Structure 1
Amino acid sequence: MATVAEVLAELAALEDPKARAVNERHGDDHGVNLSALRAIAKRLKTQHDFAVELWATGDTAARLVAVLICRPKSFGRDELDGILREARTPKVHDWLVNYVVKKSAHVEVLRVAWLADEDPVVASAGWALTVDRVAKTPDGLDLDHLLDVIEAGMKDAPDRLQWAMNHCLAQVGIDHPEHRPRALGIGERLEVLKDYPTPPGCTSPYAPTWITEVVRRKAT
């Protein structure tokens, strides 16, 4: 059985200064190649208690491994709320939401609570979970209210929260034709991410362009 110290040492040995420099431009503070990191997690396999120990180190790469080897359904609601609030780097936050919280029985309770949280990073998790519901299980969602909140708050929201709200706006427009004209109109008025640099072959995150392009692809 590996120890926490051994895993930390292995991760430290994999640190690549160039990878760290790239990651730091996106707010992440580690330089471990994610394929190598996933290989470590695959070797360790699911070990929930060990995952909790790795998380407690505070090391970003170790926390990414922890997310991959934990047992999502073993976390209580308050535990998930606590670790989400500790997940301040974008990659840890993103993996935690997508690989752990979405698999939890507490996902809907947390989604609603986080949407209303005053911490924009926590609120961004609520919006990320809402995107998932808009796309997969929209029954019971008040899409008009979501659009009201986006219209009122997205323009001046901090970056990570703004990005998540914008994704929700686009998802509503893509998946719900009856709300598409309003979603397009909100995107056009707010102009959030309109000038975002988009590589060739990629879809712009500007909601009107994003909605239009994805709807076009689905129709062909």
Structure 2
Amino acid sequence: MTLIELRDLTRSFPGPPEVQALKAVSLEVAAGDYLSITGPSGSGKSTMLNILGLLDRPTVGEYRIDGIVTGALSEDERAAVRAQRIGFVFQAFHLMPRRTVLENVMMPTLYSGVPRAEREQRARDALSRVGLGHRVGFLPTTLSGGERQRVAVARAVVSRPSILLADEPTGNLDQAMSREVLSLFDDLRGDGLTLIVITHDPAVAAHAERRIRIIDGRVSEES
């Protein structure tokens, strides 16, 4: 079943000169796919992430999630789809240092429609899922880099999204910690989550089932 569909999608930024960050991109991603997106700096990877995450709109073309034509949605409707269907993981973790691990993971549930009575248990379940059920009361600053990224993954999946977008998720981690995160991604994919990982690391890209490369705004799929 097609979950994500891009049709002749272009994103331009006004100049002078005008810059086309994405050029006539067409792409289909099925539910449960594991996709990596690579490309040189300035190739359009970040623009692609922002479009996929409903943080930006295409200039031309269409983006559908689960059949929903996102271009027709208001900003409030886009925010609701983003909160309910999309989880984000970033290189820099973006955890709140003065909030406990549990409080950090609970944050998205405030905006995604999770009933108040379920929020803490959902967060505890997500932390157990990433192997950090014993760290709920800790502050992020006391954790290793790998543990902080696993907290970030728990926060991304606590609202049970259908899509996880990860931007350089191993960029701040050593090899051993990177392997931990990639193993976690394999587990999440096994649960039916659709994974899209933007990375400059060939080993991380190769871990995905499908590999997409962006060069000068144009997309090609590697066999």
Is the TM value for this pair above 0.5? Answer: no
TM-score of the superposition, structure 2-length normalised?
0.28
Larger Rg: 1
TM-score of the superposition, structure 1-length normalised?
0.28
Between 1 and 2, higher relative CO (CA 8 Å, sep ≥ 6) is seen in: 2
